[in-house]
Structure 1
Amino acid sequence: MTVIESSNLSPLDRSAAEPFYRQIYDRFRSAIASGTLKPGDRIPSARALMKELGLARGTIEAAYSLLAAEGYIQARGQAGTIVTPGLKPGASLASPPPRAEDHEAPPSFRPDTTLPFQMGLPALDAFPRKIWARLGARCVRAMQPVDMAHPSVYGLQALRAEIASYLNISRGLNCAPSQIFVTSGYRHTIGLIGRALLKEGDRVWLENPGYPPTREMLTHMNIDGVAVPVDQEGIDVLEGIRLAPRARAAVVTPAHQSPLGVSLSLSRRLTLLNWAAQHKAWVIEDDYDGEYRYASRPLPALKSLDREGRVLYAGTFSKVLFPSIRLAYLVVPEALVDRFEQISQAFAGGSPQLTQAIVTAFITEGHFARHIQRMRKLYAQRRTEAVAGLEAVLGKHVRIDSQPGGMHLILRLKATRSDRKLVARMKQAGLYGEALSDWTMNADGSSAVLLSFTNIESRSIAERLARQILGLM
C-alpha cells in the first residue's frame, strides 16, 4: 500500500472565495481522477493534514466525510483511510453537491459531530470520564439476572428518587419520585405529553423565536402552534392571551429563554400561571440548562410557584452530562400520575437500566453536584474568553448580546448580512452555527448567529476561529 503525502496535492488558495473544505475535497477528487492517487493508496490522517495546513480539524473532516459519502475514500480503522479499492482513475466524476447556501434547508437538531461552536454540547473535554468508567464497571459487576429483564417504563426507581431530591434542593420543586418519568430525551418527553394531554386541532403557545423541534413535533401531531413574541421579560403572556385565550397549553423556557437567554419575569410567571388555572390549560416548562446562570444563583423553577397543578417540568441530562446518554425526565402534577403511567405503559419502552444505574450512582456519590459546580465556573470563564476573542476580530461586524446564563452566544449581524447564508458557509468551512431566522416563526426575524462557547478553551482559539468566520462574511 502506498502512503500519499499532502505534497502530492496542489496547494490551497487562501485568497479564494471557495471554502477550504471544498478546496481539499476538489484536490483529492482531481488527484484520484488523474491517477496521482491510486486505489488502495493511504491518504494523510485528518490530524496530520490539520497540522500541516493549519486548519481546524472539522474542516478536514468535512472534506473527508464528503469524499467518503461519494465513494472516493474508505476509513479502515487503525489501518487509516485509503482511496477506495477498485475505483477507476479517470472515470467521470460525480457532480459536486450543491452549496449549502443554494438550498436554505432548516438546520439539523443536532448533527452527530463535534464542530467548533456546535450548539447543544457541554464541555466534553471536562467530563470526569475516569469516575464515570469506574462507576460503570462497578454497576456492570453488580448486575443480577433481575437487572437484565425489561426496564421499568417509568424509570429506575432509585434514579427517580435521586432526581426528586435534586430538584427539591436545586430548583425548589416539591415532588415525589412517583411524579417523575424518565424519558430518552426532549422529543420523547414532548411526545409523552402530547399523547397524554393533547389532541389533534388543539392550540399551543410557542415562544417566538423558539426551539424549532418543538413546533416540528407539534406539527406532526396535528397541533396548531401559536407564535407568541418574546421580549426582555420573556414570553409576552398578554399577547398570548390575545392571540389564543383558550389554547390548551403553553411551552416555555423560563430560566433562559431558548434562544434569546432572557428570564421570564415574576409578573409574567404569575400571569401565565393564573391564565393556566382559569382556562384549565397546561404549562410545559422546558428547563434545558437552568443550572447555568452566571450573574447570580440559578432561579427557582416556574413549577415551584405552581399551586394549581398546571405545570409539567421537563429536565434533561444531555446538557449537564453528555448528549449520547439519551436520558431526560418529566415531572407531572400529582393528579396526572395515573394518566402518564397509562400512556407510558402503552407507548414507552423504557430507557437502558444500566445507564440509569450509572447516573444514579453518579448523583448519589456527589459527583453530579460537584460536576455542575465545576462546569458553572468553567463556562463563566469560557464565555468571557470566547466573547473577548470574537469581539476582538468581529467587533465591527457583529454585536454580542449580554446574557445572564446559558451555554451559547448570540451574534447580531450588522448591515444586511443573511444569517442563513453565513451559517451555510460556516458549515462548509467546518464550523458550526445556527441562524436565528430558523428559530423564528411567521417572519425572517433579526439576523443573528447562535454559537456555543462551551468547548472554546481560550481567547486565542476564539480569535483564530473568528478569523475564519470573518473570511466567510
Structure 2
Amino acid sequence: MPDPARAHIDPVQALQLQVDRSLQLPMYLQICQRFKTAIAQGHLRAGDRVPAARALATALNLSRGTVDLAYRILADEGYFQVRGAAGTVISPSLPQAAKASAPQAIAQPPAADIVDHDGLQPRPLQLGLPAIDAFPRKVWNRLVTHRLRSSEPYRLAYPNPQGDEELRQRIAAYLAVSRGVTCVPEQVFITTGLRNTLELSLRSLASPGDAFWFEDPGYILARPFLQNAAVQIVPVPVDAQGLQVDMGRQLSPYAKFAMVTPSHQSPLGVTLSLERRMALLDWAREAGSWIIEDDYDSEFRYQGRPLPALKSLDRQDRVIYAGTFSKVMFPGLRLAYTVVPLEVVPRFQAVSSNLNAGCPYLLQASVADFMAQGHFARHLKKMRLLYAERRAVAQRSFQQVLGDRLRIDLQPGGLHLLGQIQDGDNDSLVAQRARVLGLATHPLSRWYIDAAPRQGLLMGFANISSEAQALQLARQIQQAFG
C-alpha cells in the first residue's frame, strides 16, 4: 500500500527529471535510468504513482512517443505496473536489481567538461572568473539604482532584441579605440554569452552539414554546443603560432566557418602570428567563409599594449567579432556582444528577433553608464596591474612548492595559468584529486580532440589575493599529485 504521508510528493520534483540533450544516450533511456535511480535511492517506492506520460512529455518538452517508450520498457522490466484508468504506479514487486543496488547513473561528461558555474561560492583556481573581490560594487550599485529610479515607463516593455542602442554605441566607440575594430552600432548585437553568439551566427549563416574549423585544443565549453548543432567540426591543430591554417586548408579547404581565439589562444595562451592572421583572412576571402573571432580576455595583457583584433585587419568583412563583459566586469551580468559584417546585419536582425526577447534593459543601460562615466576604463587599468601582480605571485608560489613537477611558463596575457606536467603523471587523475580537495583545476589533455594531447593543469589565478593563499593552493595541488 502507498504511504499516505508521501501522497503529496511530486514525483517529477523528487526525481529532478531533466534530460540532457548533449549526451549521446537516447532520451527514452535517460528517462528509464532516472526512474531506476529514484527507485533505488528511495525517492519512489512501491505503489507510488508516476506522472502521466502526456504530462511528463509536456514538462520535458519531448514527444509523447518518447515517454511512452520509456514507460513500456520500465513496465516490461518490472519497475512499473500499469493500472489502466487508475494510472501507472511503481510495481509492488520490484526486480531484484532495484533492491540490491542503485543502477548505473546516466553517463556524465568528464570532470573537465562540467561547467563550474553552479551559482554557488566559486572554487579556488576556477577558470574564466575575474577578480570578483576587486569589482567596484558601490559604483555599480549606484548606477543600477539610478537607472531603476529614473527609467521611463516604456522601459518596462520588451527590450530591443538586438540590444540597447546606447550600449551598442558605447561598445562601437570602445572597440574603435581599444581593439582597432571599426564598426557602426547597427553591426553590434548584445547576447548573453559566446554560446548565444554562436547560436545567433549559425542560425543566421549556417546550413546543415557545414564544416566548422575548431582549434585543437580549443575552448572546451563551445565544443558541446557545436557538436549538437548541425555543423561538422573539423579539429585544426594549434602550435606556438596559433591555428595551423595550412592544415585547415588540407583538412577542409571550403569549410563554412572557422572559430579562433587569436589574441590569447584558449587554452594554450599563444598568440596567432601576423602571418597566420593574414593567411586565415585570405582563406576566408577565397572560400567565401566566415571567421568567428572569440576575443574573450584580450584586454588583459601584461607585456606591451593589447594586440589589435583580427577583425581590425579584415578588409573583406568576413570576421564575426565576439566580445564579453564576463571577464572585464563580472560573469553574473550575462552580457556579451558580437560585431557582424554589414552585409549580413539584416539576417542577424531577423534571427535575433525570433531567437529571444532581448537582454534586460536595466543591466544594459547600467553597463552603458559604467562605460560613459569612465568607470570601465579605470577598472580595466586597475585590473591589468592587479592581475599582473597576482599572476606573478601564483607562479612564484607554485614553483616554490611544486618545482619542476608543475612547470609554469607565463604567457603575455590572459586570466589563467598553464602548468606543464612531467612525463609519468596523469593530468586527468591529478585534476580529479584536486577537485576532491575543493579546487577547480582542469586537465589540459581533455581540451584536445584529435591532436596528440599534452599533459598539464589549467588554473585561474585572478582570485588569488595573497601569497599565503597561493602557497596553500600549491600545497593542495602537491597533495593531488600524490
Alignment deviations for residues 237-278 of structure 1 (CA, whole Å, 9 cap, x no partner): 111111110100100001000111111110110010011001
Structure 1 residue 309 displacement after superposition: 0.8
For 1:359, which of 357, 364, 367 is the aligned residue? 367
Q: Which amino acid aligns with 1:111?
A: H
Matched, 1:384 2:392: yes
Structure 1 residue 465 displacement after superposition: 1.0
Matched, 1:251 2:259: yes
For 2:113, which of 90, 102, 107 is the aligned residue? 107
Identity %: 48
For 2:288, which of 249, 260, 280 is the aligned residue? 280
d(CA) in 1 for partners of 2:237 and 2:409? 18
Alignment deviations for residues 274-295 of structure 1 (CA, whole Å, 9 cap, x no partner): 1100110001000000101111
| Aligned counterparts, 1:229-378, within 5 A | 229-378=237-386
Alignment deviations for residues 56-99 of structure 1 (CA, whole Å, 9 cap, x no partner): xxxxxxxxxxxxxx99xxxxxxxxxxxxxxxxxxxxxx999999
What is the DSSP-based 3-state SS (H/G/I as helix, E as strand, rest coil) of the residue aligned with 2:221?
Answer: helix
Mark the runs of 5 or more structure 1 residues left unpaired by the alignment. 1-69, 72-93
d(CA) in 2 for partners of 1:209 and 1:98? 31
Contact persistence 2:420–2:457 (CA under 8 A): yes
Structure 1 residue 420 displacement after superposition: 1.1
d(CA) in 1 for partners of 2:414 and 2:318? 26
2:200 corresponds to which residue?
Answer: 192
2:124 corresponds to which residue?
Answer: 116
Mark the runs of 5 or more structure 2 residues left unpaired by the alignment. 1-40, 43-99
For 1:219, which of 220, 227, 232 is the aligned residue? 227
CA 1:153 to 1:103, structure 2 compared with 1: closer, same or farther past 3 Å?
closer
What is the DSSP-based 3-state SS (H/G/I as helix, E as strand, rest coil) of the residue aligned with 2:222?
Answer: helix
What is the DSSP-based 3-state SS (H/G/I as helix, E as strand, rest coil) of the residue aligned with 2:197?
Answer: helix
TM-score by length of 2: 0.76
What is the DSSP-based 3-state SS (H/G/I as helix, E as strand, rest coil) of the residue aligned with 1:124?
Answer: coil
Contact persistence 1:110–1:120 (CA under 8 A): no
| Aligned counterparts, 1:391-470, within 5 A | 391-442=399-450, 445-470=453-478
1:6 corresponds to which residue?
Answer: none
d(CA) in 2 for partners of 1:419 and 1:233? 24
d(CA) in 2 for partners of 1:297 and 1:443? 32
d(CA) in 2 for partners of 1:257 and 1:304? 18
Alignment deviations for residues 353-408 of structure 1 (CA, whole Å, 9 cap, x no partner): 00101101100000001100100110001000000000000113111122010000
Q: Which amino acid aligns with 1:302?
A: L
d(CA) in 2 for partners of 1:95 and 1:396? 44
Q: Which amino acid aligns with 1:329?
A: Y
Question: Relative contact order, CA 8 A, sep 6+: which one is greater?
Answer: 1
Contact persistence 1:310–1:333 (CA under 8 A): yes
d(CA) in 2 for partners of 1:345 and 1:312? 19
d(CA) in 2 for partners of 1:403 and 1:98? 42
Contact persistence 1:104–1:420 (CA under 8 A): no
d(CA) in 2 for partners of 1:332 and 1:135? 29
Q: How many residues align?
A: 380
2:158 corresponds to which residue?
Answer: 150
Structure 1 residue 213 displacement after superposition: 2.3
Structure 1 residue 444 displacement after superposition: 5.8
Q: Which amino acid aligns with 1:133?
A: N
